[in-house]
Chain A
């Protein structure tokens, strides 16, 4: 992954908390993706200002001892492959 990449959600996608289902969703035309685990906390950091490196550092601070570097970079790459992150 490019460490200078500043991930941001694609323009047509909303990250939204669903109160009725108590779930975090990615909402896009014709599709809803239900986020589990800490996916939403990672994606909320994808604001187009933070670099991928900043995001990893921030999560390492929040979750000391978790294998953040590998897990988060892999996750961001997969979400980008889906076309949901730019």
Chain B
């Protein structure tokens, strides 16, 4: 007799993060792209991305985040958006705003682009450009205006850290002034480039508490007009984040060269062989591949997770953080106070430099880690690099029922896990 087919119970993915290119005009020191960036010559061609969009729709993906690097650097972006729209996917462009002029927006809107998420590094242009590693603020402002003129929904994404958390009120006011509908305030998650820059980016508990209070005050005032999303930091409260809503449970990422994993930080996990969309269908990758099954569910867990009451809500925390800090991806996320490795996080948090500006940024750059001087280059030569493009997971969906016929309260799902 065959064993029961439990794949039938497997959730379909809700979201696809399509990292179309790692090329980017910005050099943000917390970039979510891997340290080893994919060169342009190795990027998937148009027809492969079109196939990925078709397969994503068939698999049940609802949202696609067209991201990078800077996706506008793909001249075939409109063709890829069109393929996604043909597959009934809701398309969101995740962009630095550089290169997003009226003509390009018209081209994308004409094929059905649904929404735009724009990154900004700070409300203060000088600090924003210092963090981004190049002149960029005015271009972002113009891009925001162009999106609003065309009536497309616009969200702002701001990665938060020690060097901009004190400007949180100004950042929210900037979003208001730019006419956004949603502001994602994403505390830095320390992987890859951000891990390299942790000494200068890591805030402390007091700075975070002040910022969070300010967000709550503003949230009340903005209710019904602008949605504020606070992506919690995990170094300070002893609670692990339910990363990505569970491994291979909610969304998937495809890299510029076609490798697919449950999240964009997972490329750093040693021993995890990422399947490639050039060789396998998305369906096979989601359902059958070893990589997507490696940390699914709770069978892979060790103690203290295995017997923990939270194991089905926090999923043991983040596999990439466990690996980055302990060298073993099957251990409990050290962010959790129940982890035997929690002292690692506590020690890091206690060892911050007194003056963060004394530590220069290691800017994200193709072909190696470089440390330019810690001043804003006013006319930095554009070289490929990226803004932090949120490891944009689609939140586990919430439910809303309506009469006639039972429960009728629209309920919120959890915020996107990161």
A interface residues, Cβ below 8 angstroms from B: 11-12, 14, 16, 18, 20-21, 25-40, 42-43, 59, 63, 66-68, 71-72, 74-75, 78-79, 81-84
> B410 contacts A12, CB within 8 Å?
no
Assign chain B's interface to a size class: 35 or more
Contact with A along B380-418 (1 / 0, CB 8 A): 000000000000101101111111111111100100100
> B397 contacts A33, CB within 8 Å?
yes
A67 to B405, CA, bound (A): 10
Known A30-B92, A31-B394; judge A21-B60 contact (CB<8 A): yes
Write the nearest CB–CB distance from B199 to chain A, whole angstroms.
Answer: 31
A79 to B88, CA, bound (A): 24
> A29 contacts B406, CB within 8 Å?
no
> A30 contacts B399, CB within 8 Å?
no
Known A11-B153, A37-B402, A39-B402; judge A30-B395 contact (CB<8 A): yes
> A35 contacts B402, CB within 8 Å?
yes
A29 to B404, CA, bound (A): 28
Chain B residue at minimal CB-CB distance from A73: B403
Which residues of B lie under 8 Å from residue A21 when comparing CB positions? 12, 60
> A33 contacts B402, CB within 8 Å?
no
User: Could you give 5 example pairs across A and B, Cβ below 8 Å?
Assistant: A12-B181, A27-B62, A29-B155, A31-B398, A43-B402
Which residues of A lie under 8 Å from residue B404 when comparing CB positions? 37-38, 59, 63, 66-68, 71-72
Known A21-B12, A32-B394, A32-B397; judge A68-B410 contact (CB<8 A): no
Which residues of A lie under 8 Å from residue B227 when comparing CB positions? 83
Main secondary structure of the interface of B (DSSP, over half): loop
> B153 contacts A66, CB within 8 Å?
no
Taking the complex as formed, is B117 at the interface, i.e. its CB lies under 8 A from any CB of chain A? Answer: yes
Taking the complex as formed, is B178 at the interface, i.e. its CB lies under 8 A from any CB of chain A? Answer: no
Number of A-B contacts (CB under 8 A): 129
Write the nearest CB–CB distance from B84 to chain A, whole angstroms.
Answer: 13
> B416 contacts A33, CB within 8 Å?
no
> B399 contacts A71, CB within 8 Å?
no
Contact of A39 among B182, B394, B408 (CB under 8 A): B408
Contact of B401 among A11, A25, A39 (CB under 8 A): A39
> A83 contacts B182, CB within 8 Å?
no
> B398 contacts A34, CB within 8 Å?
yes
> A30 contacts B416, CB within 8 Å?
yes
Taking the complex as formed, is B114 at the interface, i.e. its CB lies under 8 A from any CB of chain A? Answer: yes
Which residues of B lie under 8 Å from residue A27 when comparing CB positions? 62-63, 90
Write the nearest CB–CB distance from B118 to chain A, whole angstroms.
Answer: 12
A26 to B62, CA, bound (A): 10
> B90 contacts A34, CB within 8 Å?
no
> Which 5 A-B residue pairs are closest in the complex by CB-CB distance?
A71-B403, A39-B402, A12-B153, A66-B404, A36-B401
Write the nearest CB–CB distance from B226 to chain A, whole angstroms.
Answer: 10
> B394 contacts A29, CB within 8 Å?
no
Q: In the complex, which residues 193-249 of chain B have their Cβ closer than 8 Å to any Cβ of chain A?
A: 224, 227, 229
Contact with A along B124-156 (1 / 0, CB 8 A): 000000000000000000000000000101010
Which residues of A lie under 8 Å from residue B397 when comparing CB positions? 25, 31-34
Taking the complex as formed, is B115 at the interface, i.e. its CB lies under 8 A from any CB of chain A? Answer: yes
Taking the complex as formed, is B14 at the interface, i.e. its CB lies under 8 A from any CB of chain A? Answer: yes
Which residues of B lie under 8 Å from residue A29 when comparing CB positions? 90, 92, 114-115, 117, 153, 155, 181-182
> B410 contacts A79, CB within 8 Å?
yes
Which residues of A lie under 8 Å from residue B182 when comparing CB positions? 29-30
Contact of B62 among A18, A43, A68, A74 (CB under 8 A): A18
